Amino acid sequence: MNALKFIGIAIVAVISVPAILSFSDYNFKETNVNLLKAEGQSKYKVEEIDYPAQKFLTYREEVPFDGMQSFYSKHLGAIYQFIGKSEKMQPAGQPCGIYYTWNESERTTDMAGAVPFTAKGEVTETGDYTVEEFSGEAYKIAYRGSYDNLGEAHIAMEEYLKSNDISLNNVAMEQYITDPSTQPDTAKWLTNIYYFPQD
């Protein structure tokens, strides 16, 4: 798989930033939670899954909400380039955004740009990046549509977890499956949203 091919795809994550930011807005959230309740949340299907072990090369930082776009632009393409130059690593999928905390009062998020990879042997040279592995219990929404409404899917996930008495102490991941540069129909864009419960 050609790593350089994915550098352009990595910037897909930047497009989702407005949706993520709108999710943090209190009025937006309250309005849409009520709407989702009225619709019985049938618009979004939450799957309980066993996430297969996957390693990611990540760059993690505390980022202000208004700096998320530049963060993605700077780091996602660079991660793909780093993997492409490695003799041991190969990219294993589309780019991801990982969110560890979301601080609405300070308008900051502890987040990472991430690229899944496979490796031949142990990876010891990762430069400025960190290897992180996710596996096991997770909750998934396969969201199809424009990035403008991604925030609604996150709200639906929160409501599902609350209604099923599942811990809200989660790491959230968005994986941007569809490349908009090759698929102009936004209704066909697929973004997989995962929530990984933390102890």
Label each residue of 23-42 as H, E or C. HCCHHHHHHHHHHHHHCCCC
This model's pTM is above 0.85: no
- The CA distance from 16 to 81, in Å, is 22
**Longest alpha-carbon distance in the chain:** 53
* pLDDT score, position 32: 46
DSSP code for 51: E
Nearest partner of 80 among 67, 70, 94, judged by Cα: 94
Judged by DSSP in three states, 133 sits in: strand
Encoded tokens for 76: 């996602």
Over the chain, what is the mean pLDDT? 81
157-184, pLDDT tens digit by residue? Answer: 999 999 999 987 789 999 999 988 899 9
* Residue count (the chain): 199
68-112, pLDDT tens digit by residue? Answer: 889 988 999 999 999 999 989 999 999 999 999 989 899 999 999
18-62, pLDDT tens digit by residue? Answer: 343 333 333 334 434 444 444 444 589 999 999 999 999 999 999
Specify the CATH number of the domain 3-197: 3.20.80.10
Percent of residues, the chain, with pLDDT higher than 70:
78
